[in-house]
Amino acid sequence: MVATRSVDDASPMETGHERTLEAVARLAGGIAHDLNNALLPLRAYGELALKKIGRGADAREEVEEMLAAAGKAAAVTRQLLAFSGRQVLRPELLDLNALVRGIEPELRELVGEGIEVVTTLHAAPVRVLADRALLDQVVLNLVLNARAAMQETEGGTLAIEVSGDDSALGAELRVTDTGHGMDAETAAHVFEPFFSSSERSRGLGLAAAHGIVTQSGGTISVESAVDIGTAVVIRLPHADAERRDEAQEDEPEATTGATVLLVEDDVVVRQSVERMLASSGYAVVAASGGEEAVRLARATTFDVVLTDVAMRGMNGRETAEEIRKSKPHVPVVFMSGYTDDAVLRQGVGDRELRFLQKPFGLSELTGALDDAIVARV
């Protein structure tokens, strides 16, 4: 006879393993749900567009809907990268006071009527070195979560407070709501993907916020009590006030007619990017991998390198380093859907490291290349 045990007899290790599997299953299910919701209209409008084109009709409306659906799918993958701490950061010197002031009108409009927004700023600048767009996303996610909690209590107060001191993580941003609150057991799970105490706020929002803050060198925690409310506290390292903010740059001039050395080992991606470049007036020299790119670099003239990061054989950074041995001043733009290259993830604030997150659009592609060519690092 095979011996059996009840769940209560399971070891702590087995229970922890089961919780991990449950969290992974919830993550996979949530991502599949959100991606399928984006892919369904993408496929539907694609088929409708083909029918219209076959009849010689204008399919512009269907194509626009396809692009909108593709944007929603890309947003899901960006949140997944944020949750995993695999975003490529573009750090710049920020004042948390200025950041809150800048997005306050948008936040007031977002929460709507019935919720009062109160902001309290620090008397002096609270400077951090962080990715402005990602930090904006963190605050937005926290506000959306707070709004959902207060909608269930038919209104309340949303408080956003900036403070600073001389400790290691002395830059603090606190977002407090007067919603239904949570008990300790529920609060312990709030940063897990697709976990929520409210059906209105399920998703990757808080999980993504946790990933972004952690990757930025900070911490994020929750203080909550049932029927009182919830406070989410973000602490970040103070930045050197003398560091120059390099984000303020003039708009790059157009560089139509420049030659791009395109390095991409996925043939479908390579061909699609090559067509995008050709449609914008660039000449393209295409390589199917790092080794071929290095050979072409020795025999060809070009203005900029556009290379994937994760490739079979030589990766993107190794390829760039080899090319620069013969062409030390050539600018390089990296692109990837995902990278575990720590140097790229942490160092894109350096002007020598430019990065395009896949999937990207035509304007993003040409803007990155124009900027690289004009800057001539």
Mean pLDDT across the chain: 81
- Domains, the chain, in order of start with CATH, read 12-84 (1.10.287), 91-236 (3.30.565.10), 259-375 (3.40.50.2300)
User: For a pLDDT cut of 70, what percent of the chain falls above it?
Assistant: 77
Cβ-Cβ contacts under 8 Å for 39 (sequence gap 6 or more): 69, 73
**Higher pLDDT among residues 209 and 90, named by residue:** 209
* pLDDT at residue 257, as a whole number: 76
Peptide bond into 359 cis (omega under 30): yes
* pLDDT at residue 92, as a whole number: 86
Place of tokens 């020795």: 298
* pLDDT at residue 17, as a whole number: 56
- Tens of pLDDT, residues 134-180: 898 899 889 988 888 887 777 789 999 999 998 889 999 999 999 88
User: For a pLDDT cut of 90, what percent of the chain falls above it?
Assistant: 39
CA–CA separation, 371 and 251 (whole Å): 8
pTM, two decimals, is 0.61
Q: Looking at residues 250-257, what average pLDDT do you find?
A: 51
Q: What Rg value do the Cα atoms of the chain yield, rounded? A: 24
* pLDDT at residue 277, as a whole number: 94
